[in-house]
Every structure is written in C-alpha cells, then in structure tokens.
Amino acid sequence: MVYEASSPIFSRYDDASMLDRDDFTSKVRVLEVDDRAVRCVEMRPREQGHHEQKTVLLTPGFLCGLSNMALLGHELTRYGFEVIPLAHTKPGKDSADDVRGVIEAFYAGKIGTPSNRLVLFAHSLGAINTKQCLTRYPELMDGIDGVVELAPAGYGGVTPSGALASVLSELSHRPDTQVARDAVKDAIRYTRASGWQIIGRAIEAKTINMVAATREIMENNVPVSALVARNDKVIRRNGLTRGLGAAAVPYTYVSTAHAGHNPHLMFAEQTAQDVVAHILSLDMRNSAALGEKQVY
C-alpha cells in the first residue's frame, strides 16, 4: 500500500480553530515513574459521539518533547481517538521505563480512559524504547492492540553522524506555524540539557536486537507495523526496509512523498491518515489472530 502526496498543510494550523497551543500546554501532567518525572498530556476526542474506544500513546524520538507530538495528537483526536503524548526527561536507559510508567498509569486509571484498548505509536528512537518496554515487562502486552512505528530506529539504515543536523534541519524547514517553531526550540533546549546522554543512548541503542524483540512481541499476539518516509535522511530507507523485512513487519510509505524524518510534525494531517490506516490494519490482524492464521 503506497500513497502519493499532496502539498504541505502548514497554513491550516495558523487558524485559531485548530490546535490551541495554550490549551495543550495547560494540560501537561507529571507522572512519577520510579525516581523520575515523566510529562504527558491527555488529549480527548474532539467530537462527542465519535469515539473509537482506543487510546493512542505517542512516544517521541530522542530530540523530541511534547510539542513535537502536538499536531499529530490533535489530528488523531479528530478521528475519535483519545491520545496521550509523553516526553522523556532525558534520553537514556530509563526511557523504556518511562513508557512502562505511563502504560501502568493508564491501566490504573490515573490518566486516560482505562476501559479503552491501547495502541502504541513510536517515532524513531521511540520504537526502541517501546520494544524494550514490552520485552522487559511482557505482562503489559495483554491490553495492547498493537504498535505502529514511524521511521523506526534499530532495524538498520541509521546514519548517526548526520542525525542531529538532519533532524534540526528538517524541523526548521519552513516552520510556518508556532507549533513547529516551538518544536525546534524544544529540540535545541533538550539537546543542550541532555549533552553526552544523547550520544550514550545512541550507542546503547545499537546493541539492541530489534528484529528479535519485534518477533517476541508479535509472538505474544501484539501486531507491529511501520511507516517509512521516502526522504528520511536520518534513517535510510533501504537499510530500514531490509530490517523490517527480516522482522516480518508490514510497512507502507508515508503518503507525503517528500516527507523526511518528521512527517508527523511537518505533514500532520496526512500522517494522521496514515496512522489511522495502520490502526485499522491492526484491528484486522487482531481479528485474524482469533480465527484462522493470516499471512502477510
């Protein structure tokens, strides 16, 4: 399933009727996870009566805070999903436990609607953090409908020497909205605050066997699928698709043909459509798992 793209949609988000940045920031909550504080936001479906009975947990990559996931979260609420973006205090070995802490808080009714089914969305390094969380704590998998990965790290194709410059360049590309400008500033602040921990986390991540971790998760009846950006300069398409093939992860291309590593920020409306298509695909795979085995 390959989509072609249309033009950027930045101007929509200059409309005051769209994402309310002040409302978004006013809803930031802090969850205590072990000895750390994890920030997250509870975003409700926008229209009464249109509710998919699912909550989507958004896990960012290592340069990205809450602002990076704001536009995608907003778009997903328009489809009737409850959305919870999270942000790590600093990148490191505890990132997987940050994800675990938010999932446990959701199950405990401390955030979100615990009667909903949970879908995990992970961008870039967030895919590694999510996989580490589920393989360390397999008891969490029972309530999870599936994992959707966008430009996931860990499968191959990563070019770490140009990663920081590439991410900042792509985030800075035509920042025609305040949300995009905020995300650029957040990335710079986060990088300065994290220092050597970013490099350490990148090195540590290279030791993780994503293919084995993904297969373990799928063997526990949690389907995984991926979105690949054609012009991603951080995670090269050929290396990534080879790794996804080795893990038997079905993937499609982001519908914006010229999207880079951050289509969820630059082309949020189209990317949300792609994510919703993958969530519906997860539903079909879950139904198939209850009956006859489905082959992809």
Confidence of residue 56 (pLDDT cuts 50, 70, 90): very high
Task: Report percent pLDDT > 90 for the chain.
Answer: 43
Lowest mean pLDDT, pick from 97-101, 229-233, 276-280: 229-233
By the 8 A CB rule, do 113 and 82 touch?
yes
Span 34-42, average pLDDT: 89
Mean pLDDT over 224-252 rounds to 92
CB 235 within 8 A of CB 163: no
Max mean pLDDT range (40-54, 164-178, 183-197): 40-54
pLDDT: which is higher, 59 or 184: 59
The whole-angstrom separation of Cα 17 and Cα 35 is 39
Q: Which of the two residues, 185 and 265, has the higher pLDDT score?
A: 265
Strand pairing report for 82-87 and 144-150: unpaired
Mean of the per-residue pLDDT values of the chain: 80
Q: Please state, in angstroms and rounded to a whole number, the distance separating the CA atoms of residues 7 and 89.
A: 34
> How are strands ordered across the β-sheet holding 117-123?
28-33, 36-41, 82-87, 54-59, 117-123, 144-150, 224-228, 251-253
pLDDT of residue 215: 96
Q: What is the mean pLDDT of residues 183-189?
A: 63
For each of the domains in the chain, give its residue range(s) and CATH number, in order of start: 10-289 (3.40.50.1820)
Q: Give the span between the Cα atoms of 162 and 3, in whole angstroms.
A: 27
What DSSP element (H or E) covers 219? helix 210-219
The residue that leads in pLDDT, 50 or 195, is 50
According to the model, what pLDDT value does residue 14 have?
36
- Residue ranges with strand state E in the chain: 28-33, 36-41, 54-59, 82-87, 117-123, 144-150, 224-228, 251-253
**Residues 75, 264: Cα–Cα separation, whole Å:** 10
